[in-house]
Structure formats: C-alpha cells, structure tokens
Amino acid sequence: MQLQEFQAKILLSQYAIGSPAGAVAMTADEAEAAAARLNVDRIFVKAQILAGERLAAGGIRTVNSAKAAKAAAGELLGQKLVTAQTTAQGQTVKSVLVEAGIKAEQELYLSLQIDPVSGAILLTAGRGGADIEKRVAAQELKLESLALGVNGERRAGEVAELAQRIGLSGGLTTKFGELVKKLHRAFVELDAGLIEINPLVVTDAGELVAVDAKVVVDDNALFRHPELKELRDESKTDRVELHAQRHQINFVQMDGDIGTVVNGAGLALATLDMIAAAGGSPANFMDIRTTAKSLDIAQGISLVLENSRAKVLLVNVFGGGMQPCDTIAEALGIAFRRSKRILPVVIRMTGNNEDLARLRLANYNLPKTECTDMWQAVTRAVALAQGRA
C-alpha cells in the first residue's frame, strides 16, 4: 500500500524525521490560506497522486505568494495528471500539498527497501534530484548500498563510510547515521516495503530535511496497523485485486488465458513458472490464504471466470491442516453455480481430505480433468487453452 506524500511525511515525523513546513489542501481557497500561514516568499504546490515524476509533468509548481498558490492549486485540483509512472489515463488530483521552499546546499537520495535476493533491509544512498532512475540506468549516477538486518546489525563505521562515499563529511556524517537509525526503526515498525526520500536536502544550517518522501507498507501486515489501513486510497487500487484482498486472497490480474486457483504463494509462483515452461500464459496469480473459507475462495474463482481472456481453469492445490482440499472443491462448486460461464477445469489436488474433495467434485458435474501431478496438469491446461485437446 503506497501512501500519499503528505501522509508519508506525517508518519516519518513521528520518528523525528524533518520535512518542510506545509499543509494539505483540498480546495484552491484552502491552498491560499495554507500559503499565507507559511509566510515565505518561495512556496511549492504539489499534486498528491500515487506516482512519481510529478515535476516533469507539471504537477509541482513553484510560486511566490498566497494568491499564486491559489491559482496553481486551482489548475491542478480535479485534473488528470499523467506522468512517466502513471497509465495514459493518468490520476486525478484530489489534493495538493502546500509547502515552504527550502534552499538546498546539496541534494541526496536515501532509501530503505527489502533486498529480494538476500531478504535483508537494503540501505541505498547517493546524489539525489529529478530523473534519478534514468540517471542510474544511463550510468550517469552511482548509488551506494549497505545491507542491514532487521535489528539494524552492521559493523561499526559502515554507515559513516557510506556517508563519506556520497560526499558528506564532519558533523553531517553523524547526522546521516542518526537519520538512518530513525528510518530503520520506522521501516521495521511500520512493516514497510519501501521508504524513499528524494531529495534529502542538506540545508545551509547543516540540517537534513526530507523534501519529498515515499512510503510503501506491506498490505499483508495491515492487520497490525489499523491506523494505516484507514489511509488506503481505494480509488487508486485495482478493483479486482481489492475485492480479492477482502476475501483473504492475494490476486494479480495478468494477460494470459490460463486461469489459476492455487493455495500458497510459493506453489502459485511455481505454477506460473511451469505454465510458461509448457508454452502457456497465465491469466492471473492467485494465492489463497489459509484464513480463507469456501465462500471467500468462491469469490476469487469468480474473478477468474469473469475474465474473458481465460479459456481454462487450472486448479493446483495442496491440502493442509488449516485448509483441506474439500474446502476448495466446495468453493469451485459455489463459483460455477453462481457463474453464467463454464470453463474446462484441470485439477491436481493432493493432501488433507482429497478423497472427500473428489466426491464433492463428482457431485458438481463440472467439465473437469483430474491429473496426478503438476506437470501433467499444466501441460493439459496449456493444450486446452491452445485448442490442442
């Protein structure tokens, strides 16, 4: 779950991470009032959308008066903003952040994220500013990285050495280390997947200030953070994925023609890999959580049946103690009874209550093919989707 910039800054302020003075505004009049309260001669009016590259797209305006801030907000609010990180349809600007401008002696980039290879928390830093992804890709900019453990484990002096490699010295090295400690604590306590500050500005007074901030929280950990769950902007969340999440299913729509019903993320990913290896293309990723009941699973299966691209349904299930095979078999029956669309079903089920599951499936009279192993099921599903069976 990605947060708006102003929400991210409010969260980070709880960890004593500073950002410019400012306020969020929903109307042009509110923007004018916020700018007047700042009482400065350099003001930023920043469109609040869940995408970067706003400056290049005209979503960040620099003005020098409250009246000009009102005009800028009026131009942005209610408009579709298209950036390099949005779809062609863009995102509607529903609010703006009115913020005091800060003179920068130096602009840095700083982030914490999960390293997908090692699972460590990866600290990345370097010179910051606009178009950082393009500059890194073009090898115009080199970022420095350091792996941290969940408890922040590192050898003495490593963060200070990294700070020096990105151009900091003296007291700034110490302040940078203190900031990393605060960010690390925030990252762990918030169950974050990413905290990114760009730019992190070094002021003429030698302070480190987060001029822009991005926070992404792990959706699966929101049960531990009810206060964060309320911040979700559901208008920016895919309707299908949101519906699945409400029914205890992790679901991602894809472009292929083989619908999948799988319990367990690892098994689901392996199923997608096998479909690709067999020359097929999956229509979705589905991970049925252990907390899902048969009615929840039926909702997830219905999402697959509603996908007009799906030509076949591949069910790959390992029944465990918390979710036996017959629960998913019951869900198949419910989903197909509710749906006006019938797809051929290829099933590989093994584990707890598999015999009961087969009995139930026989009673449902589904157009099914049962297979004894994963590869047999995958190749059969691919053949059906391609009209070879």
Question: Are 46 and 60 within 8 A, CB to CB?
Answer: yes
CA distances in angstroms from 50 to 47, 234, 330, listed in the order given: 10, 11, 39
The distance between the two most distant Cα atoms of the chain, rounded to a whole number of Å, is 76
Tell how strand 312-319 and strand 345-351 pair up.
parallel
Q: Which residues contact 145 (CB under 8 A, 6 or more apart)?
A: 122, 123, 124, 125
* Both structure tokens of 110: 């700083």
d(CA 192, CA 108): 21
Catalytically annotated residues: 109, 196
d(CA 55, CA 35): 19
* Both structure tokens of 304: 């697959």
d(CA 325, CA 164): 57
Alpha-helix residue ranges (DSSP H) falling in the chain: 5-13, 28-38, 66-76, 132-137, 158-165, 171-189, 226-229, 239-246, 265-277, 294-305, 325-338, 354-364, 374-385
User: If you ran DSSP here, which 8-state letter would residue 170 be given?
Assistant: T
* Both structure tokens of 328: 């998913």
* Both structure tokens of 149: 């453990």
Task: Give the dihedral of Cα atoms 247, 251, 256, 262; nearest 10 deg.
Answer: -80
Q: Which residues pair with 194 in a beta bridge?
A: 113, 216
Residue of 198, 125, 202, 197 whose CA lies nearest to 171: 202
Backbone φ/ψ region at 253: left (φ over 0), alpha (ψ -120 to 50), beta: beta
